[in-house]
């Protein structure tokens, strides 16, 4: 089946996925308009669709249909996707169609302005096994003399079909409270979701879903989109007074302008979209499949159980202490030992040393070699924490190169966490950064980098640059290039994306990393909600989750070790507590729980995830891979005399029978679907359980 079809008589394109279709056509003015995003259609059916025009047409209201890339110009009054100003002061674009080409599932529609040599290509890419549509835009100034000022250049605009009601779902939060799902009516207004921080941010994530207000986890139409960008971004959702709901998104934020020099081109990041008729759960599973199939570099690998030293040592890092922690970690079945902050320069606190990436000679008198060798002798891989994009003013690097940071003339340099941001848009700064990372990885055969970024941009300028605000784009792309070069030169290297927790989680960073540190908050009760939001877009195999000490360092909440492990097992668990203080009983139980996770890991990391909700505070997840099902259930609190009812599963077959691999009990699938799985939960608060089921043939 061809995934991209064209009808020349109607100037209409149809993009088809396994269960959905997307149709666009050229209008009389050569603008590209959306006519369908929903259930599967044939090409003949698609040509019968009429463009959506406003029923409130008047001399004050546009009658045009829904643009695929809205511009200034003509009777368009909604949020534009592309805003340019030419050298003579003219703004806006008038389109002329220049043809199209198709390469497999990649459609390119070529446009230009009718009066100026500005060329734009709208890109669409579909994959045969997915309903996700990837979209992005190329813009090129072919004038040989005059620049073009770009005030906004989004990747794509999307439109929901006409419905009587609209609801939006998005993710909000802050440090230690990332990925909180919010569902609310779409107001008759423009709603802007954005990060102005130079990072994806803890406070919003570039994912947006729209439904008609009736969709649930397993039913209802959902239209969702995700932007693959790790810097500042903006998505503008617009519902007009007569009900048309559209949104446009891309990199940058309001107030920025970029200059497109003669002959220069700019390519936007991918803004991908997905339609599903089967609810938020089906949408998540489709996104998870897209991440595995089209984003991750190593989707078939099994992520290891790691130990991280941060909560055990803080900045008090030395060779003997790390070796002692490594020995205990290895005894628990840990596969990757990661030394965190404090190993380099004068880094005895967050105030100094960042940027001086040589092992502290007092703490590591023979360098990192002995520790790396001991970690490998214990049967583990060796990883290390780095923060390549930042510098302390109290460092040799800053004293030598104060001009290497983002700054503006005649403005104070704001410190956050006693740090400034290195200007990686500068070639010399970027080359120096790549060089020390390359040397660190090569000299010690590093297996894993925990790549952190602990502050947003401030005074994001570059004195002397002819186009200083381009660094909002170029900084992020420089990070991408450094990561890409490291991975190409060191194929065994794996990277975890971190930004003070979940401040950098998006499809752009996942294209060059392997997992994401979701939050600095490791409290298992809080993590249930954080992980629920994270799973709306991202699969379990990229979700790093630690088991740490009790009381929890962030919340002081006391929770059982079993509960902490069961919450972390929903993703890629690590251990981050101070193992030197854990009792023999805790160490023994931890080893048993690590072994239990390794038994379920293939299903959790590579299976399909179904979110479950029981009565009261009982929630859970069900992972399915072939005939194997893994159920993790958590009940943080419950009233006396109110034990949770059995938990209804979502992915078993009603005609099949399933055996509990640990107890031998069998259950008809129809009973698991309708009445639920009986759970053996401990008494009291913070109760949890793990159940392994296998279909009986």
Catalytic residues: 452, 520
Flag whether 340 is marked binding.
Answer: yes
**Of the candidates 32, 19, 28, 25, which has an alpha carbon nearest to the alpha carbon of residue 5?**
25
Q: Is 282 annotated as a binding residue?
A: no
Identify the helix (H) or strand (E) that includes residue 98. Answer: strand 95-103
Place of tokens 């060779």: 319
- CB within 8 Å of 435: residues ≥ 6 apart: none
Does the annotation list 454 as a binding residue?
yes
Q: Is 59 exposed, middle or buried (0-12, 13-18, 19+ CB in 10 A)?
A: exposed
Closest CA to 249 of 380, 116, 136: 136
Kind of pairing between the strands at 148-153 and 258-260: antiparallel
**Contacts of residue 560, Cβ cutoff 8 Å, sequence gap at least 6:** 550, 682, 686
Strands (E), 521-638: 543-547, 572-575, 608-613, 619-625, 628-635
The answer to whether the beta carbons of residues 284 and 262 sit under 8 Å apart is no
Distance CA 363, CA 660 (A): 50
Q: Which residues of 349-361 are buried (b: 16+ CB within 10 A; e: fewer)?
A: ebbbbbbbbbbbe
557 has binding-site annotation: no
Answer yes or no: is 453 a known binding residue: yes
Q: For residue 496, how far is the Cα from the chain centroid?
A: 12
Q: Is 451 annotated as a binding residue?
A: yes
Q: Is 635 annotated as a binding residue?
A: no
Tell which residue, 627, 692, 620, 626, has the closest CA to residue 660. Answer: 692
Q: What dihedral do alpha carbons 529, 531, 534, 537 form, nearest 10°?
A: -110
Residue in this structure with the two tokens 């139980």, named with its chain if needed: 589
Q: Who contacts 477 (Cβ-Cβ below 8 Å, separation ≥6)?
A: none
The length of the chain in residues reads 697
Rounded-to-5 percentages of helix, strand, coil across the chain: 20, 30, 45
Sheet holding 156-160, edge to edge: 156-160, 245-251, 233-239, 190-195
Does 546 show up as a binding residue in the annotation?
Answer: no
DSSP secondary structure letter of residue 589: H
Q: How far is it, in rounded angstroms, from Cα 174 to Cα 681?
A: 32
Greatest extent of the chain over all pairs of C-alpha atoms, in Å:
79
Annotated binding site: 175, 340-341, 417, 450-454, 498, 520
Annotated binding site for substrate: 175, 340-341, 417, 450-454, 498, 520
């Amino acid at each position: 089946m061809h995934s991209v079809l064209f009808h020349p008589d109607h100037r209409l394109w149809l993009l088809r996925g396994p269960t959905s279709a997307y149709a666009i056509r050229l209008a009389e003015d050569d603008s590209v308009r959306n006519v369908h995003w929903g259930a599967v259609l044939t090409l003949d059916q698609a040509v019968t669709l009429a463009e959506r025009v406003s029923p409130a047409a008047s001399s004050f209201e546009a009658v045009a249909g829904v643009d695929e890339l809205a511009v200034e110009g003509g009777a368009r009054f909604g949020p534009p996707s592309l805003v340019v100003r030419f050298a003579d002061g003219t703004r806006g674009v008038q389109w002329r169609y220049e043809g199209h080409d198709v390469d497999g599932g990649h459609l390119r529609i070529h446009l230009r302005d009718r009066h100026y040599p500005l060329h734009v290509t709208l890109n669409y890419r579909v994959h045969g096994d997915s309903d996700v549509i990837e979209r992005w835009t190329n813009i090129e100034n072919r004038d040989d003399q005059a620049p073009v000022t770009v005030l906004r250049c989004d990747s794509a605009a999307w439109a929901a079909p006409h419905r009587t009601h609209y609801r939006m779902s998005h993710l909000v939060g802050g440090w230690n409270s990332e990925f909180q799902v919010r569902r609310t009516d779409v107001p008759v207004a423009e709603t802007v979701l954005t990060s102005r921080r130079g990072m994806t941010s803890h406070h919003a994530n570039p994912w947006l879903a729209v439904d008609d207000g009736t969709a649930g986890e397993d039913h209802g139409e959902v239209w969702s989109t995700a932007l693959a960008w790790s810097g500042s971004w903006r998505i503008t959702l617009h519902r007009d007074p007569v009900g048309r709901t559209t949104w446009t998104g891309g990199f940058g934020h309001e107030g920025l302008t970029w200059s497109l020099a003669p002959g220069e081109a700019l390519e936007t990041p991918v803004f991908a979209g997905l339609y599903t008729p089967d609810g938020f759960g089906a949408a998540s599973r489709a996104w998870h499949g897209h991440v595995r199939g089209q984003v991750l570099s190593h989707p078939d690998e099994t992520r290891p159980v790691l130990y991280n030293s941060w909560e055990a040592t803080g900045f008090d890092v030395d060779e003997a202490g790390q070796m002692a922690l490594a020995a205990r970690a290895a005894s628990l079945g840990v596969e990757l030992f990661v030394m965190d902050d404090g190993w380099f320069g004068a880094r005895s606190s967050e105030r100094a040393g960042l940027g001086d990436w040589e092992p502290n000679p007092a703490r590591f008198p023979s360098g990192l070699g002995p520790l790396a060798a001991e970690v490998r002798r214990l049967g583990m891989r060796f990883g290390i924490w780095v923060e390549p994009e930042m510098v302390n003013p109290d460092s040799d690097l800053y004293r030598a190169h104060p001009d290497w940071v983002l700054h503006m003339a005649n403005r104070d340099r704001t410190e956050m966490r006693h740090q400034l941001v290195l200007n990686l848009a500068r070639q010399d700064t970027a080359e120096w950064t790549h060089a020390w990372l390359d040397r660190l990885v090569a000299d010690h055969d590093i297996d894993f980098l925990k790549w952190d970024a602990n502050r947003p941009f401030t005074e994001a300028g570059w004195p002397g640059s002819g186009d200083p605000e381009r660094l909002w784009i170029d900084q992020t792309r420089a990070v991408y290039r450094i990561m890409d070069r490291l991975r190409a030169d060191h194929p065994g290297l794996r990277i975890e994306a971190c930004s003070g927790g979940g401040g950098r989680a998006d499809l752009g960073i996942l294209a060059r990393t392997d997992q994401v540190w979701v939050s600095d908050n490791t409290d298992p009760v809080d993590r249930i909600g954080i992980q629920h939001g994270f799973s709306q877009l991202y699969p379990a195999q990229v979700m790093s989750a630690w088991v740490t000490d009790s009381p929890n360092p962030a919340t002081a909440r006391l929770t059982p070790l079993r509960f902490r492990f069961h919450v972390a097992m929903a993703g890629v668990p690590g251990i981050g507590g101070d193992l030197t203080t854990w009792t023999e009983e805790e160490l023994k139980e931890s080893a048993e729980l690590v072994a239990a996770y390794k038994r379920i890991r293939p299903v959790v990391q590579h299976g399909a995830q179904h979110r479950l909700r029981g009565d009261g505070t009982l929630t859970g997840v069900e992972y399915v891979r072939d005939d194997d099902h893994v159920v993790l259930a958590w009940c943080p609190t419950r009233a006396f005399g109110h034990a949770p009812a059995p938990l209804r599963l979502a992915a078993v077959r009603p005609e099949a029978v399933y055996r509990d691999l640990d107890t031998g009990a069998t259950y008809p699938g129809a009973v698991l679907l309708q009445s639920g799985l009986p759970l053996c939960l401990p008494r009291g608060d913070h109760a949890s359980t793990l159940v392994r089921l296998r279909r009986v043939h």
